[in-house]
Amino acid sequence: MAKYSDDELAVAMIYARAMYELAAEKSLVGALREELNAVAALIEGHNDFAAFLTSPTVDDGAKRKTLEKLFRGRYADLLVDSLQVINRNERQGFIGAVAAAFGILDEERRGGIEVQVQTATTLSESVRERLRGVVAKKTGRKPRIVEIVDESLIGGLIVRIGDEKLDASVARKLAVLSQALLERASREIHSGREYMAA
């Protein structure tokens, strides 16, 4: 899920909630989650298909027909109908994010919670256990840790619990410091004082 921005997840959550409520009414949540993950993996695994779905030059009618041909009869009508709504609203690039958001909702409804941890290196077991304890105490839910290693973070970590995000990465701290120094320099230059970095 870390590959999706906060904005993408916010949009995806709208679709995921609607799909989840309909699936819950029909007792199809587990099946729909599996099918949605399968479709998201299929799209992510085939760059040409992903490009076709997201291309502004491809007619929406062609996309609609392709979705029908590929998925109708293989997957639940609820999923195919949802994909058509996503297509009609030109959000085809969000299907993976919708699958991730659906998973978050399902975890929450089962009393668990997905905790995404992005770090520069793999977490040690002691840190992982400490994190589980803190999250369980804070949320009252059983956390499922999903680790993503991202060397660009340099150090520290980014934790996402549901749709809350805590960014304590070194890269983020450096970006904040850099922005503060730029703002200070700008103020001093505009005030006419000679700028000297301190």
pLDDT of 144 reads: 84
125 with 80, same domain? no
What whole-number distance in Å separates Cα of residue 155 and Cα of residue 168?
9
Which alpha helices (DSSP H) does 89-169 contain, by range?
95-109, 125-139
Pull the structure tokens for residue 145: 């840790």
Whether 193 is covered by a domain: the verdict is: no
Contact call for residues 137 and 130 (beta carbons, < 8 A): no
Q: How do residues 157-198 score in pLDDT, each as one tens digit?
A: 778 886 677 766 555 566 666 677 777 777 777 776 654 554
Q: How do residues 49-86 score in pLDDT, each as one tens digit?
A: 999 999 999 998 999 999 999 999 999 999 999 999 99
Band of pLDDT at residue 154, cut at 50, 70 and 90 = confident
Whether 178 is covered by a domain: the verdict is: no
Global pTM value: 0.65
What whole-number distance in Å separates Cα of residue 66 and Cα of residue 181?
52
Residues in the chain: 198
CATH number of the domain enclosing 93: 1.10.520.20
What residues pair up with 167 in beta bridges, in sequence order?
158
Range of the domain at 143: 111-169
Whether 18 is covered by a domain: the verdict is: yes
Check pLDDT > 80 for residue 8: yes
Pull the structure tokens for residue 7: 């904005």
93 with 22, same domain? yes
